[in-house]
Every structure is written in C-alpha cells, then in structure tokens.
Amino acid sequence: MPAINRVKYYQPNSYFHIYNRGNNKEEIFFSEQDYEVFRAITRRVLQEEYCEVIVDTFCLMPNHFHFLVYQVTTRAIEILMRKTMTRYVMYINKKYGRVGRLFQDIYKAAYVPPAKVAKTRQYILDNPINAGFSDWKHVGRGYKL
C-alpha cells in the first residue's frame, strides 16, 4: 500500500500542503545562495504559462520545505514540483560536485479542505519558530517568494 500523501489525487481549484525533506533527513540548502536559487527556480516555473498554481505560503528550512498552494487546474502541482525539484537538484549536484539523490523521496501533497487552510498556513509560518529559528527569512506568504 502506498505511503500517505504519496499517491496524488489532484483536484482543480483546491489547496494542497506540499512538503519534502532531504535524503536521510540531511540538509537540502547548504548556503544562503541555495535558498535564493530555489526561490528563483520556483518563481520561474510559476511564471510559465501552463503552471497554474498560486503559492499561498512557503517555508524553506535547512533540511525540508513546505508550500501551501492553490491549484487552479488538475496536475498543475505535478508540473510545478517536477520542474522545480529537477532544476534545483541539478543545480546542487553541479555546484557541489554531488551525484544521486538530494531528497528523501518524491514530494508529498496533501489536500487541504477549506476549513483547514488557515490552520495549515499558520503551521507552515510557525515552522521556523517551532524549530528554534527566530527572524527566519525563508518563510512567508506567497508574494514574498
């Protein structure tokens, strides 16, 4: 039986909590520049005409990330994540002379019912605080991505 949130049942016009972490829970961001490159890659993919996803909230932590997104069309999340993660892993592997996996597994995408959007948003925004990071700058609403 597949792991929860691994098999994706995408619904248009719906919110999803997307997350992933580093292989063996290791870091996925090794420098300040890496955070900025991940954000830039994500912004570029979002601007592509066929990627109909709106990022509501995001959090990039040293070994994992969270997005709360609104998907306009079916499978838009799949396009966003496939392109973003592939481009980022290629960047990291080239920059640091690495090979192989950066992420533990394929990203997870959990449907968020309308009644739980605010709670999920707050969970993502509080993630750095709960991990002991104050003044964390890689967290915020989508327009800050």
On average, the pLDDT of the chain sits at 92
Residue 109 lies in a domain: yes
Residue 60 lies in a domain: yes
Residue 4 has pLDDT above 70, yes or no: no
Residue 6 lies in a domain: no
Q: Work out the pLDDT band at 74, boundaries 50, 70, 90.
A: confident
Residue 99 lies in a domain: yes
122-127 long-range contacts, CB within 8 A, separation 24+: 124/17, 124/57, 124/58, 124/59, 124/66, 124/67, 124/68, 125/57, 125/59, 127/59, 127/61, 127/66
Structure pTM? 0.92
For the chain, what is the domain count? 1
CATH number at residue 34: 3.30.70.1290
Residue 3 has pLDDT above 80, yes or no: no
For a pLDDT cut of 90, what percent of the chain falls above it? 82
> Which amino acid does the sequence have at 108?
K
Residue 56 lies in a domain: yes
Residue 50 has pLDDT above 90, yes or no: no
Residue 59, domain extent? 14-144
Residue 4 lies in a domain: no
Percentages helix, strand, coil for the chain (3-state, rounded to 5) are 40, 25, 35
Q: Work out the pLDDT band at 1, boundaries 50, 70, 90.
A: very low
Average pLDDT, integer, range 114-130: 97
Residue 49 has pLDDT above 80, yes or no: no
Residue 55 lies in a domain: yes
Residue 9 lies in a domain: no
